Amino acid sequence: MGAPDGADPVHDRVDPGGRGPLGDSPCPPSAFGRRRFFHWLSLSVAGLLATLVAIPWVGFVLSPVLRVAAPTWRLVGPVEDFPLDETVKVTYFDSEPHPWAGFAAETAAWLRRESEEEFVAFATYCSHVGCPIRWEEGPRLFMCPCHGGAFYADGSVAAGPPPRPLDRYPVRIRDGNVEIQAVGVTAQRG
Protein backbone atom coordinates (compact mmCIF):
# COMPACT_ATOMS: atom_id res chain seq x y z
CA MET A 1 0.00 0.00 0.00
CA GLY A 2 3.05 2.27 0.18
CA ALA A 3 4.02 4.92 -2.31
CA PRO A 4 4.99 3.38 -5.65
CA ASP A 5 8.63 4.36 -5.49
CA GLY A 6 9.93 1.45 -7.53
CA ALA A 7 11.48 -0.41 -4.62
CA ASP A 8 10.04 -3.77 -3.71
CA PRO A 9 11.24 -4.86 -0.26
CA VAL A 10 10.31 -8.52 -0.65
CA HIS A 11 11.42 -9.41 -4.14
CA ASP A 12 14.41 -7.08 -4.32
CA ARG A 13 15.93 -8.38 -1.10
CA VAL A 14 19.41 -9.70 -1.55
CA ASP A 15 19.33 -13.35 -0.61
CA PRO A 16 22.83 -14.85 -0.52
CA GLY A 17 21.56 -18.38 0.13
CA GLY A 18 19.39 -18.21 -2.97
CA ARG A 19 16.73 -20.11 -1.12
CA GLY A 20 13.89 -17.60 -1.46
CA PRO A 21 11.57 -17.34 1.53
CA LEU A 22 13.59 -19.95 3.41
CA GLY A 23 16.69 -17.84 3.39
CA ASP A 24 16.40 -17.17 7.12
CA SER A 25 16.48 -20.84 7.96
CA PRO A 26 18.91 -21.75 10.74
CA CYS A 27 19.58 -25.08 9.06
CA PRO A 28 22.69 -25.50 6.99
CA PRO A 29 21.93 -24.62 3.35
CA SER A 30 22.68 -28.06 2.03
CA ALA A 31 20.47 -30.14 4.36
CA PHE A 32 16.91 -31.09 3.56
CA GLY A 33 16.00 -29.83 7.01
CA ARG A 34 13.00 -29.77 9.27
CA ARG A 35 11.76 -26.32 8.10
CA ARG A 36 12.05 -27.19 4.45
CA PHE A 37 10.16 -30.42 5.11
CA PHE A 38 7.30 -28.59 6.82
CA HIS A 39 7.28 -25.98 4.06
CA TRP A 40 6.56 -28.58 1.40
CA LEU A 41 4.33 -30.68 3.67
CA SER A 42 2.08 -27.67 4.37
CA LEU A 43 1.88 -26.68 0.72
CA SER A 44 1.05 -30.26 -0.32
CA VAL A 45 -1.59 -30.71 2.36
CA ALA A 46 -3.20 -27.37 1.43
CA GLY A 47 -3.24 -28.34 -2.25
CA LEU A 48 -4.67 -31.73 -1.44
CA LEU A 49 -7.43 -30.21 0.68
CA ALA A 50 -8.36 -27.76 -2.06
CA THR A 51 -8.55 -30.61 -4.58
CA LEU A 52 -10.66 -32.67 -2.21
CA VAL A 53 -13.18 -29.84 -1.90
CA ALA A 54 -13.12 -29.08 -5.63
CA ILE A 55 -13.78 -32.60 -6.91
CA PRO A 56 -17.34 -33.05 -5.59
CA TRP A 57 -18.23 -29.43 -6.45
CA VAL A 58 -17.05 -29.72 -10.04
CA GLY A 59 -18.78 -33.08 -10.41
CA PHE A 60 -21.99 -31.59 -9.08
CA VAL A 61 -21.86 -28.59 -11.39
CA LEU A 62 -21.12 -30.77 -14.41
CA SER A 63 -23.85 -33.28 -13.54
CA PRO A 64 -26.28 -32.12 -16.29
CA VAL A 65 -23.70 -33.19 -18.86
CA LEU A 66 -22.96 -36.53 -17.25
CA ARG A 67 -26.59 -37.57 -16.86
CA VAL A 68 -28.10 -39.63 -19.68
CA ALA A 69 -31.89 -39.41 -19.82
CA ALA A 70 -33.90 -42.45 -20.91
CA PRO A 71 -36.12 -41.86 -23.96
CA THR A 72 -39.57 -40.74 -22.83
CA TRP A 73 -42.66 -40.92 -25.05
CA ARG A 74 -45.44 -38.42 -24.39
CA LEU A 75 -49.03 -38.89 -25.50
CA VAL A 76 -50.34 -35.84 -27.36
CA GLY A 77 -53.82 -37.02 -28.42
CA PRO A 78 -55.86 -39.54 -30.42
CA VAL A 79 -55.02 -39.86 -34.10
CA GLU A 80 -58.47 -38.76 -35.25
CA ASP A 81 -58.01 -35.36 -33.52
CA PHE A 82 -55.50 -34.32 -36.15
CA PRO A 83 -56.95 -33.42 -39.58
CA LEU A 84 -54.95 -34.37 -42.64
CA ASP A 85 -52.35 -31.85 -43.85
CA GLU A 86 -52.86 -29.47 -40.95
CA THR A 87 -50.11 -28.16 -38.70
CA VAL A 88 -51.08 -27.75 -35.05
CA LYS A 89 -49.25 -26.97 -31.85
CA VAL A 90 -49.15 -29.77 -29.27
CA THR A 91 -47.83 -29.34 -25.74
CA TYR A 92 -46.56 -32.06 -23.44
CA PHE A 93 -44.29 -32.52 -20.42
CA ASP A 94 -40.57 -32.64 -21.12
CA SER A 95 -38.42 -35.57 -20.05
CA GLU A 96 -37.92 -34.31 -16.49
CA PRO A 97 -40.98 -32.34 -15.33
CA HIS A 98 -40.05 -31.12 -11.85
CA PRO A 99 -42.96 -29.91 -9.69
CA TRP A 100 -41.29 -26.50 -9.20
CA ALA A 101 -40.74 -25.98 -12.92
CA GLY A 102 -44.22 -24.57 -13.63
CA PHE A 103 -44.41 -23.40 -17.23
CA ALA A 104 -40.91 -24.69 -17.87
CA ALA A 105 -41.96 -28.32 -17.29
CA GLU A 106 -43.88 -28.19 -20.53
CA THR A 107 -42.58 -28.12 -24.02
CA ALA A 108 -44.25 -27.85 -27.42
CA ALA A 109 -43.97 -29.19 -30.95
CA TRP A 110 -45.59 -28.39 -34.28
CA LEU A 111 -47.36 -31.58 -35.37
CA ARG A 112 -48.45 -32.17 -38.96
CA ARG A 113 -50.43 -35.11 -40.22
CA GLU A 114 -49.05 -36.02 -43.62
CA SER A 115 -51.24 -39.04 -44.33
CA GLU A 116 -53.42 -41.55 -42.49
CA GLU A 117 -50.49 -43.08 -40.68
CA GLU A 118 -47.72 -40.51 -41.07
CA PHE A 119 -47.05 -37.66 -38.67
CA VAL A 120 -44.16 -35.20 -38.51
CA ALA A 121 -43.24 -33.25 -35.37
CA PHE A 122 -41.12 -30.11 -35.69
CA ALA A 123 -39.23 -28.25 -32.98
CA THR A 124 -40.69 -24.89 -31.99
CA TYR A 125 -37.39 -23.04 -31.99
CA CYS A 126 -35.61 -21.61 -35.02
CA SER A 127 -32.54 -23.41 -36.35
CA HIS A 128 -30.73 -20.05 -36.60
CA VAL A 129 -30.29 -18.79 -33.03
CA GLY A 130 -33.21 -20.51 -31.33
CA CYS A 131 -36.08 -18.00 -31.24
CA PRO A 132 -39.70 -19.25 -31.04
CA ILE A 133 -41.24 -19.97 -34.43
CA ARG A 134 -44.95 -19.72 -35.16
CA TRP A 135 -46.99 -21.49 -37.82
CA GLU A 136 -48.95 -19.12 -40.06
CA GLU A 137 -51.73 -20.93 -41.89
CA GLY A 138 -52.29 -18.19 -44.52
CA PRO A 139 -48.89 -18.34 -46.21
CA ARG A 140 -48.33 -21.88 -44.86
CA LEU A 141 -45.00 -20.89 -43.35
CA PHE A 142 -43.20 -21.24 -40.05
CA MET A 143 -41.99 -17.73 -39.21
CA CYS A 144 -39.40 -16.47 -36.75
CA PRO A 145 -39.78 -13.07 -35.03
CA CYS A 146 -36.04 -12.45 -34.45
CA HIS A 147 -34.17 -12.39 -37.75
CA GLY A 148 -36.92 -13.03 -40.30
CA GLY A 149 -36.26 -16.74 -40.83
CA ALA A 150 -39.08 -18.70 -42.53
CA PHE A 151 -39.63 -22.43 -43.16
CA TYR A 152 -42.00 -24.28 -45.46
CA ALA A 153 -44.59 -26.71 -44.12
CA ASP A 154 -42.07 -29.57 -44.47
CA GLY A 155 -39.57 -27.70 -42.26
CA SER A 156 -37.14 -26.76 -45.03
CA VAL A 157 -35.73 -23.23 -45.12
CA ALA A 158 -37.90 -20.77 -47.10
CA ALA A 159 -36.19 -17.46 -46.33
CA GLY A 160 -33.79 -15.69 -44.03
CA PRO A 161 -30.61 -16.76 -42.27
CA PRO A 162 -31.45 -20.25 -40.84
CA PRO A 163 -28.64 -22.63 -41.86
CA ARG A 164 -30.64 -25.88 -41.77
CA PRO A 165 -34.23 -27.18 -41.67
CA LEU A 166 -36.27 -27.27 -38.48
CA ASP A 167 -35.40 -30.04 -36.04
CA ARG A 168 -37.75 -33.02 -36.07
CA TYR A 169 -38.84 -35.11 -33.09
CA PRO A 170 -39.58 -38.84 -33.25
CA VAL A 171 -43.33 -39.54 -33.51
CA ARG A 172 -45.17 -42.87 -33.25
CA ILE A 173 -48.73 -44.14 -33.13
CA ARG A 174 -49.65 -46.44 -30.22
CA ASP A 175 -53.18 -47.77 -29.68
CA GLY A 176 -54.69 -45.03 -31.83
CA ASN A 177 -52.80 -42.28 -30.03
CA VAL A 178 -50.04 -40.02 -31.31
CA GLU A 179 -46.94 -40.01 -29.14
CA ILE A 180 -43.91 -37.72 -29.37
CA GLN A 181 -40.54 -38.50 -27.87
CA ALA A 182 -39.47 -35.79 -25.40
CA VAL A 183 -35.93 -35.07 -26.56
CA GLY A 184 -33.41 -32.36 -25.83
CA VAL A 185 -32.66 -29.14 -27.65
CA THR A 186 -30.09 -29.40 -30.41
CA ALA A 187 -27.99 -26.73 -32.07
CA GLN A 188 -26.16 -26.17 -35.31
CA ARG A 189 -22.84 -27.97 -34.92
CA GLY A 190 -19.76 -25.78 -35.02
When asked if residue 190 is in the footprint of other proteins (CB under 8 A), the reply is: yes
**Binding letters toward other proteins, positions 11-50, x by CB under 8 A:** ----------------------------------------
CB 165 within 8 A of CB 119: no
Residue choice 94, 111, 120, 166 for contact with other proteins (CB under 8 A): 94
Nearest CA to 76 among 171, 159, 155? Answer: 171
Alpha-carbon separation of residue 175 from 79, 80, 88, 171, 172 (angstroms): 9, 12, 21, 13, 10
Stretch that binds other proteins, among 9-17, 48-56, 78-86, 142-150 (CB under 8 A): 142-150
**Residues that contact other proteins, how many (by CB under 8 A):** 65
Smallest distance from the beta carbon of 105 to other proteins, in angstroms? 6
**81, 86, 96, 118: which one contacts other proteins (CB under 8 A)?**
96
Handedness of CA 184, 92, 123, 133 (dihedral sign): negative
Do 149 and 138 form a contact (C-beta atoms < 8 A)?
no
Contacts of 37 (CB under 8 A, 6+ apart): none
Choice between 25 and 95, CB closer to other proteins: 95
Residue 77 touching other proteins (CB under 8 A): no
CA angle 89, 94, 140 (to 5 degrees): 20
Of residues 98 through 127, those in contact with other proteins by CB under 8 A are: 98-108, 124-125
User: Using the rule CB under 8 A, is 178 a contact of other proteins?
Assistant: no
Can you say whether residue 85 is alpha, beta or left, with left for phi > 0 and alpha for psi between -120 and 50 degrees?
A: left
Paired residues of 182 in beta bridges: 72
Give whichever of 22 and 129 is closer to other proteins, judged by the CB atom. 129
List contacts with other proteins (CB under 8 A). 1-6, 61-62, 64-65, 67, 69, 89, 91, 94-108, 124-125, 128-134, 136, 138-141, 143, 145-148, 150, 152-153, 158-161, 163, 182-190
